[in-house]
Structure 1
Amino acid sequence: MQKITLVLLFLISISMGAQVIYQPFDSEKLGERRELKIQLPRNYDPEDKIQYPLIIVLDGDYLFEPFAGNADYQAYWGEMPKAIVVGVNQRNSREKDLFYDKEIYFPAHEGASFFEFIGMELIPYIESKYNVSNFRIVAGHDLSANFINYYLFKDFPIFRAFILLSPDLAPEMAVRVQERLSTIKTDTFYYIATADNDIVDLKEKIVSHNAQMGAVNNPKVHYRFDDFQDADHYSLVGLGIPKALNEIFSLYKPINKQEYADLVMTYPEGPFKYLEKKYADIKFFYGFEKKVVENDIRAVAAAALKKDDRDALRDLSRLARKEFPDSMISAYYTGMYYENENNLKKALHNYQQGLLLNASDFIDKDMLLDKIYTIKDKN
């Protein structure tokens, strides 16, 4: 428990580098004021055309900070895109916000108003003020985790990813979710977490729900279930959030060793075509473009050299010049292409030109000088 607390404190301190705004919101649907917490990405510039995923966090009075810290931390290391995180405080309104009818088990009265507040007021407001994409995530804990399921049942769900941390499931919810996810036509991520020391009644329903999810045979649904050891109803939050974000943005992540071995090296059309496909898939799935990262260029270059794929090296050098014109990256990979073609004169020229450019995370003057000296020794 102490370790989890320290991790949460670390993540919260990390998020201090991002911009956090605390503001009231007067809702017509609710007929009252609500307090919002909004975290903008580091160096957020409203004039940029970059669009960011939107994470809506219910129970924001205590759940916002863990989500904000994790989102900022993972984005810092390129494990997920920078995101805008919005927490809705419910400390004094939780019971009425999350109310559902005890006969039909759908939101009613204040619960119906809160349901509409999220979709018809809060999200349009955030979209009008900030650069958010259509890729939206919603998250909740116990009662609020149950509540977010209701957004699945709209003809066109406003959320693409659902994070349920120890949900306190309403009657018939498990069956309804299983039936809905079996037919949903939009790529949807659905995450549930419980723990060995979770509240007994909740865990029994969650485990049963997980068993019913086994009947979902829909390629559009990306489902993950975690049952954490040595955790309880509250500490599982600190374990579930990074796992959920990790799964949601698994496609976005830089190429790792497994992806390199299983996909980059085996792709029938070659490593560069795999790179193009990966980034096209990111745009298709998430609805926004990702700038090519140096890690992925390195991986594709290594695969191209190993497979002696000169076309891939040529295309990679063109991409490097386009995406990183002021960086040593462009010179290094262009020089690598010409060196592989045994055009040492052009290779040397590019390596030398690179000395005037900006170093990258992986390429510096020493690397370029090593290449220069090696070529000169050959002559």
Structure 2
Amino acid sequence: MNKTILLICFGLFFQIATSQVTYETIESSKLGETREIKIQLPRNYDPEGDVLYPLIIVLDGDYLFEPMSGNSDYHSYWGDMPKSIVIGINQAKKRSADLSYSDTNYFPSDEGGSQFFEFIGMELIPYINENYLTSNFRIVVGHDQSANFLNYWLFKDKPLFRGYIAFSPDLSPEMVNRLQEKLSITTEDTFYYLATADNDVKGLRDAILACNTTLSSIDNSKLHYRFDDFTDADHYSLVGLGIPKAINEIFGLYKPINKQEYKDKVLTYEGGPYAYLMKKYEDIEFFYGFEKKVVENDLRAILAATKKKDDIESMKSLSKLAKKEYPESMISAYYSGIYQEMNGNDRRALVEYQSGLLLEESEFINKDMLLDKIYDLKD
């Protein structure tokens, strides 16, 4: 069993075991009927809190919701993406009508497609925004016909979504040309993921490969595009392979600093390690529209870089940041102590380390580490 399949299995296990999945029925005037939706809230979701969460809308929720919500829960658990609210829309009984488009202009038809389009934008999302803590960063996911349909939201004057995940789309006529035109001129950072596989439906695969050729030629810094052509996969199994890839692409900036980023960017940044950290988190807020708390993994990366470069000013700023972000944790005392040591003030460093013994341990810093520092300074 390869790593991707393991990831999916673990993600689904975590989703079943700990996440909050509920089922609701929405009365829709646009559809003229009720529609069932599935809702997965993040772990430890506090309806009275002030944290806002990205919203992921999953079309074909009858079968696509579970793999998407499971992966969302898994990746957010490890900090590779923000905790998110995932909504699945059940369409099995009305799928053909929901996803229909006109034979003349190839936009959502009056026989159901336009009604479903308006239901999402004018009823479902406002309802979710009113009842749950959602940010303005939204992603839409689809497969086959729904992967084609999700593109229509791109063509609004103010697109409804920032991220588009299209698994083996059954592309309507003129769709590729319209995508090229729209994505070439978008002025807002837009994430677009497209996938097929070697054993995909031949007619779909040929059109998708041609679409990729067109989209790959777009020169627009605001477009963040990724295409995957999976081997040993078919029209259905490619979804399980593509979800982690799409998440990684859309939330690449959000992910904690890894070895490659540390080597290629942190150590080489002209402004110094601390300035790089500030820029990374400013970019996260700019790209995704919400503020991310500085994680301990990133503090450790910047700490290593400041030591390697003997950058006392970065260390001074880093210690202040650690105290601000983690005032009740040993993190604050440890980083303050490191700064004092680098600044040649061992006595002050000893006081900082000792003060941390009464604070809470973190993932990487515990009482033994502080005691080792204390004993070394006393010796």
1:6-32 CA-partner distances (Å, limit 9, x unpaired): 654432121121110111111000001
Q: Look up the match of 1:240.
A: 242
Query: In the alignment, which residue of structure 1 is the partner of 2:215?
Result: 213
Which amino acid is 2:99 matched to?
Answer: L
Give the corresponding residue for 1:301.
Answer: 303
Q: What is the number of equivalent residue pairs in this alignment? A: 377
| Matching residue of 1:88 | 89
1:125 and 1:183 map into 2 onto residues whose CA distance is 31
Deviation of 1:255 (Å): 0.5
**What is the DSSP-based 3-state SS (H/G/I as helix, E as strand, rest coil) of the residue aligned with 2:21?**
strand
SS in 2 for 1:193: strand
8 A Cα contact 2:31 2:119, kept in partner: yes
Structure 1 equivalent of residue 102 of structure 2: 101
Which residue of structure 1 lines up, in the alignment, with residue 165 of structure 2?
163
Match of 1:13 in 2: 13
SS in 2 for 1:128: helix
Residues 41-60 of structure 1: pairs in structure 2 closer than 5 A: 41-60=42-61
Partners of 2:317 and 2:6 in 1: CA distance: 46
**How many Å separate the matches in 2 of 1:349 and 1:104?**
73
Partners of 1:315 and 1:2 in 2: CA distance: 43
Give TM-score, length-normalised by structure 2.
0.98
Looking at structure 1, the residues matched to 42 and 8 of structure 2 have their Cα atoms a distance apart, in angstroms, of 19
Q: Does the alignment pair 1:181 with 2:183?
A: yes
3-state secondary structure, aligned to 1:164: strand
> 1:306-352 CA deviation, whole Å, 9 max, x = no partner?
11110000000000111101100000000000011110101001111
1:261 aligned partner: 263
Q: Does 1:27 align with 2:28?
A: yes
**2:282 aligned residue (280, 283, 300):** 280
Does the Cα contact within 8 Å between 2:5 and 2:241 map onto a contact in 1? no
Listed as ranges, the matches of 1:332-371 within 5 Å are 332-371=334-373
TM-score (norm 1): 0.98
Q: What is the CA deviation profile of residues 67-93 of structure 1, one whole-angstrom value per residue up to 9, with x for unaligned ones? A: 100000000000000000000000100
Distance between the aligned counterparts of 2:295 and 2:311, measured in 1?
21
> Which runs of 5 or more structure 2 residues have no equivalent in the other structure?
none
Q: CA deviation at 1:215?
A: 2.5
Counterpart residue identity of residue 275, structure 1: L
Deviations 1:172-210 (A, max 9, x none): 111110111000111000000100100000000000000
Could you say if the C-alpha distance between residues 363 and 5 of structure 1 is closer, same or farther in structure 2, counting changes exceeding 3 Å?
closer
Secondary structure of the 2:82 match is coil
Taking only the aligned residue pairs, the percentage that are identical comes to: 63
1:256 corresponds to which letter in structure 2? N
Q: In the alignment, what sits opposite 1:130?
A: 132
CA distance in 2 between counterparts of 1:57 and 1:336 reads 47
Tell me, yes or no, if the aligned pair for 1:4 and 1:235 is still in contact at 8 Å: no
Partner of 1:292: 294
CA deviations over 1:212-232 (Å, ceiling 9, x no partner): 112211000000000001110
Instruction: Give the superposition deviation at 1:104.
Output: 1.0
How far the C-alpha of 1:103 sits from its partner, in A, is 1.7
Secondary structure in 2 aligned to 1:38? strand
Distance 1:366 1:8 in 2: 37
Q: Given that residues 10 and 74 in structure 2 are in contact (C-alpha distance below 8 angstroms), is that contact kept between their aligned partners in structure 1? A: no
Could you list the per-position Cα deviations for residues 90-134 of structure 1 after superposition, in whole angstroms to 9, with x for gaps in the alignment?
010000000000121110111000000000000000000000000
Contact 1:193 1:236 in 2 (8 A): yes
Structure 2 residue matching 1:355: 3-state secondary structure: helix
Deviations 1:267-309 (A, max 9, x none): 1111101111111110111000000000000111110111111
Give the letter aligned to residue 120 of structure 1. M
In structure 2, do the counterparts of structure 1 residues 275 and 8 end up closer, same or farther at CA, with 3 Å as the change threshold? closer
> 1 CA distance for matches of 2:230 and 2:104?
33
2:226 maps to 224
1:153-176 CA distances to partner (integer Å, 9 max, x unpaired)? Answer: 001101000000000000111111
- Structure 1: 5+ residue stretches without partners: none
